[in-house]
Structure 1
Amino acid sequence: MTKKQWQGWGPGEQAEQHYLVQPRALAGGGDVRHISEFLRASGWRDKSTPGGPLHMESPGRSVRVAYDPYVLPGGWTIHGQADGVGGEWSAHLGRQTPVEIVAGLTDALNRPRSAHAPNVWAPLQEQNWHMSVEGEQNMATSPDGAAWMQYHQGADGSAMWWTGAQDKQGNGWTANFTPNTPMHLVQAFSTELAGPDPVMRPRGRVPHSAQIRTWSVSVKPSQLSAWQQARITAARAATWARNSARSTRPHTTARPYAPASGARTRR
């Protein structure tokens, strides 16, 4: 064990400089493990190859989450198979989409749907985003003008969600959701997109932008580990609760009664 490793544990650990970045939409991509570790703790299979892009598969194999930084334009792809509720869908998010915002969608994949009808615009309106309507296009823009969310319906009835953020130097990201993307997932994304809280980035990973505000903070490795572990623990607890509920749920479909002789009775 090296001295450097030892200093990362216990009372002798050294604090490291990090930065709180606001607005979060311009904070840069962040640590991919924020998403991948949560999915693993939620029972997802890691199908990634060593040294290759991230590739996660849901327990029921109906949804795939991938992150590939090695191709252009690269970024996130979330793909869902058709089910009894809706058709096949996908979401594509650029590499610089903050992981905290991407996690709004990916975390929601592991939660039951709310009984309330989803409203993508509500979280944006709560944070005083500017709303506008032009023909078949609805658009919301953040108060600082850096981020947007747009809904457009074509003449053929097809619909598309398009969103992103960009500073005055042209740095940023875009994302889009195909028409069949479940609305509760798009709402979960918009909630994190509009979130007012800053996000944390380590020194050297803060974007060079005149439109962000930063605050320097000293963080111990044990604190970072504790925060990450709390998120993982919450995912495991929620997964255990769901699995327990399924295993204890009574069977509601009774097997039809067959007479001992095997003959069927007529009504």
Structure 2
Amino acid sequence: MKKKQWRGWGPAEPAEQHYLVQPRTLAGSGDVRHVSAFLRASGWREHTREGGPLIVESPDRTVRIAYDPYSLPGGWTIEGAADNLNGIWSAHLGRDVPVEIVAGLTDSLTLPRSAHAPNVWEPLEEQRWHTRAEGEHYTATSPDGTAWMQYRQSPDGSARWWSGAMDSRGTAWTAIFTPTTPMHLVQAFSTALANPDPVMRPRGRVPLSTQVRTWSVSVTPSQLNAWQQARITAARAATWARNSAQSTRPRTRARPSSPVGAARTRR
């Protein structure tokens, strides 16, 4: 019997060239599935029509997210129903907001609200963003000056949160939040906005900007798929854990009350 030389598990998988991009605020929009796949894995329902914008809705139907790349100005629209703490709210994020920053907000919609009081400025100050007051406005600017987060108050008393990024060619994108937007969601956005880690983009999808720094990396399709699947698996596991906790929670039934002094009869 002749011995055969082992040639591995199969043909070598060709690597593809990608780039790590920094700052992430100028990395371009990225793959929308980074947001939508996580939401679907978290139990959100998709109502997208063929050829139309992406539309997903929370399990309790209180939040609706749409992404429209076709119309102007397009981009992300996130709308929430009123609750005991906030009125109807909405957030509008431009089409070129990096999906990693969008996900900072949308991922937090799938999580229980923290008991700690939210602080929008804290994650920005931790990353040494420069903060300043300008009349009725309060602004935080990234160390390289390319991104900002601002609380704007108009003379008529109306207010809003406003964020964006710009390079040498002008404004790359903006994001606007109504004053009724829950503060923990605005903080989730500012946390992702201030994250100094680079993000990955495939070759040909890196914006042409002198203010962007890039590092070439080689990755295989299976590696990319594994990273994406890990994020989806984490969403499914968290959703399963929440649903299990709710289903095993003991339920108490209120005992019907009787008028004081009422006679009780035996059956």
TM-score normalised to structure 2 length: 0.92
**Displacement after TM superposition at 1:33 (Å):** 0.1
Residues 22, 70 of structure 1: alpha-carbon distance in 2 compared, 3 angstrom cutoff: same
Q: Residue 63 of structure 2 corresponds to which residue in structure 1?
A: 63
Q: Residue 235 of structure 2 corresponds to which residue in structure 1?
A: 235
Partners in 2 of 1:36 and 1:200 — Cα distance? 18
Structure 1 residue 40 corresponds to structure 2 residue 40:
yes
Structure 1 residue 219 corresponds to structure 2 residue 241:
no
Q: Residue 249 of structure 2 corresponds to which residue in structure 1?
A: 249
**Displacement after TM superposition at 1:12 (Å):** 2.4
Secondary structure (helix, strand or coil) at the match of 1:117 reads: coil
Residues 162, 211 of structure 1: alpha-carbon distance in 2 compared, 3 angstrom cutoff: same
Partners in 1 of 2:229 and 2:235 — Cα distance? 10
Partners in 2 of 1:97 and 1:136 — Cα distance? 26
**Displacement after TM superposition at 1:152 (Å):** 1.4
Partners in 1 of 2:238 and 2:204 — Cα distance? 34
Secondary structure (helix, strand or coil) at the match of 1:92 reads: strand
Secondary structure (helix, strand or coil) at the match of 2:118 reads: coil
Contact preservation (8 Å) 2:68, 2:76: yes
Deviates most, 166-175 or 154-163: 154-163
**Displacement after TM superposition at 1:257 (Å):** 4.1
**Displacement after TM superposition at 1:147 (Å):** 0.1
Q: Residue 4 of structure 2 corresponds to which residue in structure 1?
A: none
Partners in 2 of 1:80 and 1:105 — Cα distance? 13
The C-alpha deviation readout for 1:166-203, integer Å capped at 9, x for no partner, is: 10111510000001100000000000101010000000
**Displacement after TM superposition at 1:251 (Å):** 2.2
Q: Residue 183 of structure 2 corresponds to which residue in structure 1?
A: 183
1:144-223 equivalences under 5 Å are: 144-223=144-223
Partners in 1 of 2:208 and 2:155 — Cα distance? 41
Q: Residue 19 of structure 1 corresponds to which residue in structure 2?
A: 19
Q: Which amino acid aligns with 1:125?
A: E
Q: Residue 29 of structure 2 corresponds to which residue in structure 1?
A: 29
TM-score normalised to structure 1 length: 0.92
Deviates most, 163-172 or 86-95: 163-172
Q: Which amino acid aligns with 1:47?
A: H
Contact preservation (8 Å) 2:164, 2:171: no
C-alpha RMSD over aligned residues:
1.5
The C-alpha deviation readout for 1:203-247, integer Å capped at 9, x for no partner, is: 010000000000000010000000000000000011011111111
Q: Residue 261 of structure 1 corresponds to which residue in structure 2?
A: none
Larger radius of gyration: 2
Partners in 1 of 2:10 and 2:191 — Cα distance? 37
Partners in 2 of 1:85 and 1:253 — Cα distance? 27
The C-alpha deviation readout for 1:141-169, integer Å capped at 9, x for no partner, is: 00000000000123443220000001011
**Displacement after TM superposition at 1:253 (Å):** 5.2
For structure 2, list consecutive stretches of 5 or more residues without a partner in the other structure. Answer: 1-8, 263-267
| Identical amino acids, percent of aligned pairs | 74
For structure 1, list consecutive stretches of 5 or more residues without a partner in the other structure. Answer: 1-8, 259-263
Q: Residue 117 of structure 1 corresponds to which residue in structure 2?
A: 117
Q: Residue 75 of structure 1 corresponds to which residue in structure 2?
A: 75
**Displacement after TM superposition at 1:266 (Å):** 5.5
Secondary structure (helix, strand or coil) at the match of 1:38 reads: helix
| Paired residue total | 254
Q: Residue 108 of structure 2 corresponds to which residue in structure 1?
A: 108
